[in-house]
C-alpha cells in the first residue's frame, strides 16, 4: 500500500520478464512525504486514474513507450479510456522489479548502497524521480535550494537568479532519489552514477523528458491550465528500453495553475504550510539527515490537522473537474474547472 494508491500484483516480474500489476487509486492524500493524512478527498482516486490513463494513451500515440496496459472497468474488463462508460479507480500496467538500495550508517549519517545498479541490469524501475520545471511558482523547492546555496545557477543553465512565478525560457530538469527514506536532490552526475546509466541513456532520458513535458503541457492547456512543473518516473523493460512508469500528468504528479492559482496537490500543501505540524516535519527531516536517523517521522510529535471542510469540498471538485476538462469527457458530475477555481479564489480571499 502506498500513501495515495494501492498496488495489486497480478503476476510478479522475473529477472527477464515483466509481470502485471494494478494501481488502485484511493481518495487518500499525502503532503511533505508524511504518508496518509487524516482526511479523504471524494472522487480524487478515480479522477487521478482517468487523468493518468488519458496521458499515457496520448504519450503512446506519440510513440513513447509506457508501462500502461489499460483501465479495469466495473465488469473487470481491460479497456481503453474512450471505451469507459463510467469512472474507475483501477489501472493495469506492466510490472518491473524494484531494487531498493541498502541503507547503512557511516560516520553517524545515513547512507545508501546502489551497487546493484549496473549498465547490464534490465527490467527494473530506475531509482530516480525526475522533475521538469517550466516555471518557478511560489513554493517551488528549487527557489529555496538556490537561496540556501545548495544548487548553483550554472548547474541549471541560468545566468541570473529566477523570481517566484517566473516562466523559464526553456525547461529545467531536476532529479532526486526515489527509493530512499526521504527524497534527496542529486546532481545529474550522481544520478547517473547511482543508477548505472550510460552517457547515451542519460541523454535519451533528457530528450524523453522534453517530449513528455510538451505533451502534458498541451493536455493541460485544454483545461486552461499552465503546466508549471511535474515529476516523471522511468523504468527499463527486459530489453533495457526506456518506458514511462508510475503515473504522469495528474494533479498529484504536476503543479498546474489556472490564472495564477494552484490547481494541484499544492492546494493542500499551502493549507498546511505555516502549521506547527509542518514546522516539526521540516525540523525532523533536518535532524534525521544530520544525526543519521532512519525514520524522521518518529521525531514529529504533533499530528497533522484536518483540512478545513470547505477546502476539502473544493479540492474534491477540483480533481474531478480537472479530469473532465483535461480529457474532454464529462465523466464526473461537477461544475467546470473555471467555476471551481473561482470558488477557490473566493475561499482564499476569505482565508487571507
Assigned C-alpha cell, 293: 536517523
**% of residues, the chain, pLDDT over 90:** 78
On average, the pLDDT of the chain sits at 93
Instruction: Mention every residue, 6+ apart, whose C-beta is less than 8 A from residue 148.
Output: none
Q: Are 275 and 269 in contact (CB under 8 A)?
A: no
- Residue 265's pLDDT is 93
Q: How far is CA 12 from CA 93, 179, 224, 269, in A?
A: 12, 19, 40, 35
d(CA 94, CA 129): 19
d(CA 285, CA 281): 6
Write out the residue range of the structural domain in which residue 111 sits: 5-351
In DSSP notation, 5-72 reads: EEEEEEE---SSS-EEEEEEE-S----TT--S-S---TTHHHHHHHHHHHHHHHHHHTT--BSEEEEE
Looking at residue 187, which CATH number applies to its domain? Answer: 3.30.470.20
Please name the residue that has the C-alpha cell 461544475: 335
Residues 25-53: tens digit of each pLDDT: 999 999 998 999 999 999 999 999 999 99
**% of residues, the chain, pLDDT over 70:** 99
Q: How far is CA 341 from CA 60, 87, 139, 281, 344, in A?
A: 31, 22, 19, 29, 5
d(CA 198, CA 16): 20
- Residue 75's pLDDT is 95
In DSSP notation, 258-320 reads: ETTEE-STHHHHHHHTTSHHHHHHHHHHHHHHHHT-S-GGGG--SPPPPPPHHHHHHHHHHHH
Lowest mean pLDDT among 12-16, 169-173, 207-211, 324-328: 169-173
Give the residue from 178, 162, 207, 167 showing the smallest Cα distance to 63: 207
d(CA 132, CA 246): 16
- Residue 351's pLDDT is 59
Q: Please state the domain count of the chain.
A: 1
Give the residue from 332, 336, 335 showing the smallest Cα distance to 87: 332
d(CA 307, CA 44): 15
Helix (H/G/I), strand (E/B), else coil: 137: coil
Assigned C-alpha cell, 182: 526521504
Residues 149-203: tens digit of each pLDDT: 878 887 777 878 888 878 888 899 999 999 998 788 998 999 999 999 999 999 9
- Residue 89's pLDDT is 98
d(CA 49, CA 276): 33
Mean pLDDT computed over 87-93: 98
52-69 CB burial, b ≥16 within 10 A, e <16: bbbbbbbbeeeebebbbb
Q: Are 265 and 29 in contact (CB under 8 A)?
A: yes
d(CA 73, CA 275): 40
Residues 244-295: tens digit of each pLDDT: 999 999 999 999 999 989 999 999 999 999 899 999 999 999 898 888 787 8
Lowest mean pLDDT among 59-73, 137-151, 268-282: 137-151
d(CA 322, CA 339): 11
Output the CA angle 342-348-351, nearest 5 degrees: 145
Instruction: Mention every residue, 6+ apart, whose C-beta is less than 8 A from residue 64.
Output: 208, 211, 212, 215, 244
Please name the residue that has the C-alpha cell 522475473: 14
Amino acid at each position: 500500500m502506498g500513501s495515495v494508491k494501492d498496488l495489486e500484483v497480478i503476476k510478479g516480474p522475473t529477472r527477464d520478464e515483466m509481470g502485471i500489476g494494478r494501481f488502485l487509486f484511493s481518495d487518500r492524500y499525502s503532503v511533505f512525504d508524511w504518508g496518509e493524512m487524516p482526511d479523504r478527498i471524494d472522487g480524487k482516486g478515480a479522477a487521478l486514474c482517468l487523468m493518468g490513463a488519458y496521458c499515457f494513451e496520448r504519450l503512446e500515440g506519440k510513440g513513447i513507450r509506457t508501462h500502461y496496459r489499460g483501465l479495469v472497468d466495473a465488469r473487470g474488463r481491460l479497456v481503453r479510456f474512450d471505451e469507459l462508460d463510467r469512472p474507475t479507480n483501477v489501472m493495469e500496467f506492466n510490472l518491473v522489479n524494484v531494487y531498493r538500495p541498502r541503507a547503512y550508517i557511516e560516520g553517524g549519517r545515513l547512507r545508501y548502497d546502489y551497487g546493484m545498479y549496473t549498465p547490464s541490469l534490465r527490467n527494473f524501475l530506475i531509482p530516480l524521480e525526475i522533475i521538469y520545471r517550466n516555471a518557478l511558482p511560489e513554493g517551488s523547492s528549487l527557489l529555496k535550494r538556490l537561496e540556501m546555496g545548495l544548487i548553483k545557477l550554472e548547474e541549471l543553465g541560468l545566468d541570473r537568479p529566477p523570481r517566484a512565478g517566473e516562466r523559464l525560457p526553456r525547461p529545467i530538469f531536476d532529479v532526486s532519489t526515489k527509493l530512499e527514506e526521504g527524497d534527496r536532490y542529486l546532481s545529474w552526475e550522481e544520478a547517473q552514477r547511482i543508477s548505472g546509466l550510460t552517457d547515451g541513456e542519460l541523454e535519451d532520458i533528457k530528450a524523453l523528458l522534453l517530449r513528455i513535458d510538451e505533451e502534458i503541457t498541451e493536455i493541460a492547456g485544454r483545461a486552461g491550465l499552465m503546466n508549471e512543473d511535474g515529476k516523471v518516473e522511468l523504468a527499463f523493460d527486459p530489453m533495457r528500453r526506456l518506458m514511462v512508469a508510475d503515473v504522469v500528468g495528474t494533479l498529484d504528479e504536476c503543479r498546474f495553475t489556472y490564472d495564477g492559482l494552484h490547481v494541484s496537490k499544492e492546494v493542500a500543501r499551502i493549507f498546511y504550510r505555516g502549521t506547527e505540524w509542518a514546522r516539526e516535519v521540516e525540523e525532523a527531516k533536518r535532524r534525521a539527515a544530520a544525526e543519521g536517523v532512519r525514520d524522521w517521522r518518529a521525531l514529529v510529535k504533533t499530528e497533522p490537522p484536518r483540512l478545513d471542510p470547505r477546502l476539502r469540498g473544493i479540492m474534491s471538485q477540483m480533481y474531478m473537474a480537472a479530469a473532465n476538462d483535461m480529457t474532454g469527457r464529462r465523466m464526473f458530475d461537477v461544475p467546470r474547472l473555471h467555476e471551481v477555481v473561482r470558488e477557490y479564489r473566493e475561499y482564499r480571499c476569505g482565508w487571507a
